[in-house]
Structure 1
């Protein structure tokens, strides 16, 4: 269990971040229905919540499901919720279809936060920040290299304060190509490096930030550029 203190001095109660427990399933799903992310939860989410964890990061199936409560609160219900798992593009992007090893590698180096939400009357008390901070800590400890999420533009400043890089299109640099992550307007992608080998930078020809170093042992060569979505070393 992680315990953090909200950044607002007006709310001195501590926030406890813990894995989702079975009695909270309905409240957890209701909270996630409030998320401002354009990403949708996996269709099998309800089934995932009944599974035993698989892998070092997971709490349910292959997913990380966290809840937030304020200590000394008289309400038994969680005030915040977060759901994270392997990114859908790790399995569905055209670049991975011809290389069966890539989905396995990407699903263990990149984590997609599908949804993070806080009950309306408890917002601006550091609860979302606490959920994200605990998620990043768990992911980093488990060997993940990158966290990513989809968000509404009005949350750009919030995520940037937490160290995320946001853009309408982000490219994941892969050997000989770039995996473009483009969101429908007005939504944006946010990415954050969890490992010192991961760099997020601008490269000539790329339409937005480029993430390199997500695959262990491979990085973008010096002087590289993009042309028509292909990496030119």
Structure 2
């Protein structure tokens, strides 16, 4: 589940965004299926919906599950869905696998939006934008400092208009290393700062944008650069 359905708004719709409720589980999963290759979601997505929330941002397990409804509509079913959680790289990246403390900090600092979907006949009405805006607001309020997601290249303009920076590779600056996040083609990574201390900028020699200040003390000096694929701070 790494594709976000396009929603370039032609006209604004009055949309209510709320946490997922049990009566909407089947419709929610069907909507997210639009983002999955072949329409098949990973089984763990449905399993998450059975869990009690863990953490200030979560609605189900460690995940944030939101639905969108059009206001004053005669159809009570949700027309949009968003699924977000801790980024997989917080636990699976070579720099974090052997450091549970670091994994925990990153999982409470960065939010990965795994999927956003809108019913095909309700697209171009600002629904995906409303879902993303609400997710970012909730994450910021809960103390998260970075929002990130994966997307197809043809959605680059959409996410840039929402304040995201997109690239094939993004690097997270750490005190002693750079954590490279590279996605298999054709996916791209989009990142957006949620905290004023977080900076996303280009460095000389870097393969893509570099995120600094994700955690206190992870800032970069003005002369930071990349040499032979390594971050020199």
Aligned position for 2:120:
120
CA shift, 1:9, in A, is: 7.8
What residue in structure 2 maps to residue 3 of structure 1? none
Deviates more, 1:76-85 or 1:221-230: 221-230
Q: Which moved more, 1:137-146 or 1:43-52?
A: 43-52
Cα deviation digits, residues 80-108 of structure 1 (max 9, x gap): 00000000000000011232211011001
- Show the counterpart of 2:134: 134
d(CA) in 2 for partners of 1:200 and 1:36? 29
Say whether the 8 Å CA contact 2:8–2:158 is kept in structure 1: no
2: CA distance between counterparts of 1:41 and 1:172?
A: 28
Residues 213 and 219 in structure 1, CA contact (< 8 A), matched pair in contact too: yes
Distance 2:164 2:172 in 1: 15
Q: 1:227 to 1:97 in 2, by over 3 A?
A: farther
Alpha-carbon displacement from aligned partner over 1:47-94 (angstroms, at most 9, x marks no partner):
110111111101111100000000111112100000000000000000
Q: What's the Cα RMSD here?
A: 2.0
Find the residue that maps to 1:52 and give its secondary structure: coil
Structure 2: where are the runs of 5+ without partners?
Answer: 1-6
Q: Secondary structure at the match of 1:87?
A: coil
3-state SS of the aligned residue for 1:95?
coil
Q: Is this contact kept in 2: 1:41–1:114, CA < 8 A?
A: no
* Aligned partners of 1:169 and 1:208 also within 8 Å: yes
Partner of 1:156: 156
Q: 1:7 to 1:186 in 2, by over 3 A?
A: closer
Shift of 1:43: 4.0
> 1:58 aligns to what SS in structure 2?
coil
What does 1:3-42 correspond to in 2, within 5 Å?
Answer: 10=11, 13-35=13-35
Question: TM-score, normalized by length of structure 1?
Answer: 0.91
Cα distance in 1 for partners of 2:98, 2:59 equals 31
1:186 shift after superposition? 1.5
Change (3 A) 1:30 1:227: same
- CA distance change for structure 1 residues 120 and 41 in 2, over 3 Å: closer, same or farther? same
- In structure 2, the partner of 1:101 is 101
Equivalent residue, structure 1, for 2:185? 185
Q: 2:83 touches 2:113 (CA, 8 Å); kept in 1?
A: yes
Q: Distance in 2 between matches of 1:208 and 1:10?
A: 34
Deviations 1:85-139 (A, max 9, x none): 0000000000112322110110010000000000000000000000000000000
What residue number does 1:203 align with? 203
In structure 2, how many angstroms separate the alpha carbons of the residues matched to 1:45 and 1:8? 28
For the residue of structure 2 that corresponds to 1:56, the secondary structure is: coil
Quote how far apart the aligned CAs of 1:229 are. 3.8
- Residues 42/219 of structure 1: CA separation in 2 closer, same or farther (3 Å cut): farther
Ranked by relative contact order (alpha carbons within 8 Å, sequence separation 6 or more), the top structure is: 2
In structure 2, what is the Cα distance between the partners aligned to 1:142 and 1:28?
24
Of 144-153 and 197-206, deviating more is 197-206
For 1:120 and 1:204, the matched residues in 2 are separated by 42
